[in-house]
Amino acid sequence: MASEHFFSEAISPWMQEGPGPEGDIALSTRIRLARNIEQYPFPVFASEEASATLLRYASSTLLNQSEKVGSLEALNMNELRPNERQVLVEKHLVSPYLIKNTEHSAVLLNNDESISIMVNEEDHLRLQCLSNGMQLEECYNEADRLDDWAEANLTYAFDERLGYLTSCPTNVGTGMRASVMVHLPALVWTNQLSRILPAIHQLGLVVRGIYGEGSEALGNLFQISNQMTLGKSEKDIIEDLRGVVMQVIQRERHARESLLISSRVKLEDRVFRSYGILAYSRTMTTKEAANRLSDVRLGIDLDLIKGISGNILNELMLLTQPGFLEQYAGESLTQEEADIRRANVIRERIKLEL
């Protein structure tokens, strides 16, 4: 199966290039553009027939011209097993919304998984570009190139006054959501994040969990993204987000330094307890695994734990998610079976580092 690598590898090729700028805290950057095709009803209002027609039209048109942006492969949601769809969500290649509406939806992916085009999500197209570390400008430039290519082959729904038209009014305008995934354990431990969040929201930005709106912030991982798409240019949105994220990164670094000075023994105890639990436990829930991995990643970043790659958080956060566990097991798992397998996966992965 040509598409098997999308489900079998936890780490996308673009993630293997290294931590990227500010990579001790900023794990990844994403730019997502919401676009609709003129003269087709929005997906939320479309009939089954209209949705099927749009899927065939958009997918075939883009695939036929894909050599200009690199080879693309189409995955139809209704042809995938449930755990395969879940794996795509866990790798951030599709949204949770897309896999809930599988009948006439698809995703187009390039080989290194840095480009993802969702078809018939909340909008006709969701064009997404991913990169490692803090690379908002670079990621936007790639998304802009992808957008120009798609617009050269499809006619977008666009209004001269409002901008790009979308299903949800909050996306009208640029249709752009820019986000940075950050690891903020020290701000969480010191209860500073709860004081920072209101200020971030007042600036028109939003902080969400690892899978976006409505998701939990597992392992002290948060997405910081713009909330406004109307009335600002793409450049302004990028600059505003970059400024806030850099402030958050600096505060996290300061909180880490403060912990090393004022609570080093407690910090080391927490980090090494988590390391020991990960290395020897026989059963572990998703939430506990995420929190323990966060502790260990912090210990690696602060040079308390030596000889283990910092990429362990990125890799095991994916490998221990429910979809991946069932993918590797080749069968459905009960909660108890998943917890046992999760602990096994973590133990084996840590042994490889020793």
Q: Is 31 annotated as a binding residue?
A: yes
Q: Is 349 annotated as a binding residue?
A: no
Q: Is 282 annotated as a binding residue?
A: no
Q: Is 178 annotated as a binding residue?
A: yes
Q: Is 212 annotated as a binding residue?
A: yes
pLDDT at position 294: 94
Cα 168 to the center of its chain, rounded Å? 21
Cα–Cα distance between 171 and 127 in angstroms, integer?
13
Does position 353 have pLDDT exceeding 80, yes or no? no
Q: Is 285 annotated as a binding residue?
A: no
What is the pTM (predicted TM-score) of this model? 0.92
Rounded to the nearest integer, the mean pLDDT of the chain is: 91
Q: Is 22 annotated as a binding residue?
A: no
Kindly report the number of other CB atoms within 10 A of residue 285's CB atom. Answer: 14
Q: How confident is the model at residue 318 (pLDDT cuts 50, 70, 90)?
A: confident
pLDDT at position 246: 97
pLDDT at position 214: 53
Per-residue pLDDT tens for 108-153? Answer: 999 999 999 999 999 999 999 999 999 999 999 999 999 999 999 9
Structural domain spans, the chain: 24-256, 263-353
Q: Is 92 annotated as a binding residue?
A: yes
Q: Is 179 annotated as a binding residue?
A: yes
Per-residue pLDDT tens for 174-225? Answer: 999 999 999 999 999 999 998 999 999 988 899 988 665 555 678 899 999 9
Residue range 24-256, CATH number: 3.30.590.10
Contact 163, 173 (CB under 8 A): yes
Per-residue pLDDT tens for 232-283? Answer: 899 999 999 999 999 999 999 999 999 999 999 999 999 999 999 999 999 9
Q: Is 177 annotated as a binding residue?
A: yes
Q: Is 50 annotated as a binding residue?
A: no
Contact 315, 82 (CB under 8 A): no
Q: Is 30 annotated as a binding residue?
A: yes
Q: How confident is the model at residue 9 (pLDDT cuts 50, 70, 90)?
A: confident
Cα–Cα distance between 42 and 106 in angstroms, integer?
16
